[in-house]
Amino acid sequence: EFNLESKSTIGVEFATRSIQVENKTVKAQIWDTAGQERYRAITSAYYRGAVGALLVYDIAKYLTYENAERWLKELQDHADANIVIMLVGNKSDLRHLRAVPTDEAKSFAEKNGLSFLETSALDSTNVETAFHNILTGKGDGFG
């Protein structure tokens, strides 16, 4: 659920969410880790045992996209080898402020074997799809 008062994650936040996957209800544990460098030591511990990861950047802030490469390496170094990783460009509702071209992000995802999706937490575009694809292991969509 989107909240206009929402702030950047500090450290690690935890939530659970029930999602329908192939006629079964899956209760997913979602660990939202901070993107800032100073939290790196505590966040890498949460990668072990994860079945999926969403590398989320803000389409209107290029620096957040540039950081995705570092976070991908972090995942590759600390997460299980079979983890499903999706690159997610968030805030697609801000296309008039776009700083990250969709084609560039798609190309990065394809080059690194990631699926790719653009979402908007504000208007709920593709948010369910992102979680569903991670939980079903469908790490091959480049929508």
Is a pLDDT exceeding 60 seen at residue 19? yes
Model confidence band, residue 138 (pLDDT cutoffs 50, 70, 90) = low
pLDDT of 1 reads 47
How many Å apart are CA 114 and CA 87, to the nearest integer?
6
Indicate the helix (H) or strand (E) that contains 116: strand 115-118
DSSP letter (8 states) at residue 11? S
Domain boundary assignment for the chain: 12-135
How many Å apart are CA 109 and CA 140, to the nearest integer?
10
Amino acid at 36: Q
Is a pLDDT exceeding 60 seen at residue 130? yes
pTM above 0.85, yes or no: no
Q: For the segment 57-96, what is each residue's pLDDT rounded down to a tens digit?
A: 999 999 999 989 988 998 888 888 888 999 999 999 999 9
CATH for the stretch 12-135: 3.40.50.300
How many Å apart are CA 54 and CA 16, to the nearest integer?
15
